[in-house]
Structure 1
């Protein structure tokens, strides 16, 4: 385990002292708890546990906190993928109660009207009529089934063309190269939340890092010890980490791949998505599309400076494209599809480009459920022997970051052996 010489201390904040206790009040030794991973799940777990009175230590392998919620420093404030917060989930309320969301970047009405859809090889303003049938509210008895793939079920409801268009559009919340092959119930829920009006998606001004900074400051003020550059390769390493109270229960809030290696547990696997990621800065031109969603294949491009101009220098627009790629496809295949969509929506984009970056997000896009499975079938939070999992591929409900949040609350609840208003009873979810 490699450790930093000093613990992480959020800038622009100071640590508050402990609350004053009455002289006659009985003292209780705080329960030690260790969190491995300082991303959204890890910080959620740390804050929740500290609020419950635990003595928390967070180990983060990198020099900064945030995990996949990091925002790049420099003139182009890019994230590792989209950074929207959905206000329909419990994390929105939790963050709001603690004043952790911060300023949001609203999308101007005129920009919202500049959504374009790529269908049958051309850009359109409206989706296929049959696709709208799949977005209508239905009675509970008519909900999509778990044990049938989405394409089969949706074809029966609205025809194959509409079914394929809806499946490809749902990639905005799935990051999967073949959304139609996934559980119909799983895809339907995400499709409806992604197309809900008014939109559930909101954007923290300055990117995810602004939320992470506020969460880190909250943790610090609660007395959480945060050690950066502290890579844990084995749980045995924690016994010599310097904690004067022992490590106590351990919450592993890393990617599922990292948790599998750390715990030596080959059962910690679950399907995920893989995408080619393209970030572009273009010189500003009036009339650019806000977003372009591909209905002929999974993928989309979004102009993030449409709602938050602080993400790029003045006079420039920051675009990001996510293009899911299959197991036998390369990043170049995804980039080629991105460039084709750019040619249609931004014909002069090559001449306007001032900065470009490409990357591959491999197995880092959250869990996807195959037919016959649901979130309950994913790796359990409780791994036994005082070890618990938190992350976006763990057995907890929700969409995208909501899974990380819900699993973190469940992990703390189980680790501390108590229920509170901050914990989630997954049996009732």
Structure 2
């Protein structure tokens, strides 16, 4: 290994990706994580109920997934048994329906359309399909944005997300059996095999000066560590509810809430290892409206559960509530794209990675793609120093 080390601050998905990518080149890497365990937002609750801080699926239609797959980090996929009573519903006008509204179906089929960057999604969609359909489209894709007013975002940004998640093509969604914790554990093991020196319970308050540094923390922590007050971003804010219930044939596996932008998904439909036998594990989310209290959002969340999981209160075996603020990846406002986000290369051998920086993708994909870019640049910097020192 090279003697000049690369330091990675943060042991979540981005930090582990950066550490592995750099160490694979033979470069010396050390990783510091403030918590006692690795994983960041990829961590999950311990068995028998394995629940995450938000929706955790991989999309297998980008370079990030290829990188993960080549290393075995996403091996052992779970698949829903579509022939076994899979139930999908759309909540419209306070009722659950098996099919989305006609206006939404029309929009879904228009994969060839290109939406403008500099116009908000609601204005663009309303001009094509009407006010009501524009609201329903935005609420449907709030499962990705965690934003109660997704229509205010760039039309190009939202339309791309909508087509990836709800377009006419079969979605490239992948679920690793055991959840993201399984992938995180595999990544941590691989980092150790490559010789990455990992220190947990080690909070970094000053930047090391003996080599490149990759900062892979949440933006607020990065702002303090780098002393850069410009590091702010637009992200979602949602109430979360994890529920395990005894199985009932009336339960809906997936519900898109076109009325209030909520979402419900049963994760045990594709992975029966994350809850005890005979039970179903759900996660529901509801984005907070402007000036709305958390309690109010959770009340709306429970009403969604009432519709999709009848009598859930009397059947509950596990329950956890939470909120996710600024944890859903960057959201692009009108006139901006991912290229306008915070630069990865901060100069002076400092690199910023995570889901809020200038890399393509959505949520965790941004973290992986930015980490790979930063690792390549940091390794090139180290190798350049090594070449000069041997002349």
When normalised by structure 1's length, the TM-score is: 0.86
| Aligned residue runs from structure 1 range 42-191, under 5 A | 42-110=15-83, 113-139=86-112, 142-191=113-162
1:199 shift after superposition: 2.0
Q: Distance in 2 between matches of 1:388 and 1:102?
A: 30
Q: Distance in 2 between matches of 1:403 and 1:194?
A: 16
SS state of the match for residue 236, structure 2?
A: strand
Q: Distance in 1 between matches of 2:294 and 2:165?
A: 25
Q: Indicate yes or no: 2:372 matched with 1:400.
A: no
The match for 2:322 among 344, 356, 359 is 359
1:287 shift after superposition: 4.0
CA RMSD of aligned residues (A): 1.7
The match for 2:179 among 207, 210, 234 is 207
SS state of the match for residue 364, structure 1?
A: coil
Alignment match, 1:255: 218
Q: Distance in 2 between matches of 1:228 and 1:327?
A: 37
> Do the aligned partners of 2:2 and 2:28 also contact (CA within 8 Å) in 1?
no
| Aligned residue runs from structure 1 range 298-309, under 5 A | 298-309=261-272
Q: Distance in 2 between matches of 1:264 and 1:171?
A: 32
SS state of the match for residue 210, structure 1?
A: helix
**CA displacement 1:228-274 (0-9 Å, x = unmatched):** 11111221xx46xxxxxx4x100000111110111110111110001
| Aligned residue runs from structure 1 range 30-45, under 5 A | 30-45=3-18
Alignment match, 1:427: none
| Structure 2: gaps spanning 5 or more residues | 382-391
**CA displacement 1:111-166 (0-9 Å, x = unmatched):** 68411110011100111111122222444xx4000110101000111111111111
| Structure 1: gaps spanning 5 or more residues | 1-27, 240-245, 419-429
| Aligned residue runs from structure 1 range 260-271, under 5 A | 260-271=223-234
> Do the aligned partners of 1:144 and 1:153 also contact (CA within 8 Å) in 2?
yes
SS state of the match for residue 83, structure 2?
A: helix
Q: Distance in 2 between matches of 1:111 and 1:179?
A: 34
Aligned residue pairs: how many? 382
**CA displacement 1:49-86 (0-9 Å, x = unmatched):** 01122100000111111000001113210011111000
**CA displacement 1:360-419 (0-9 Å, x = unmatched):** 11111111011111111111001111110110000101122110011001111222237x
SS state of the match for residue 395, structure 1?
A: coil
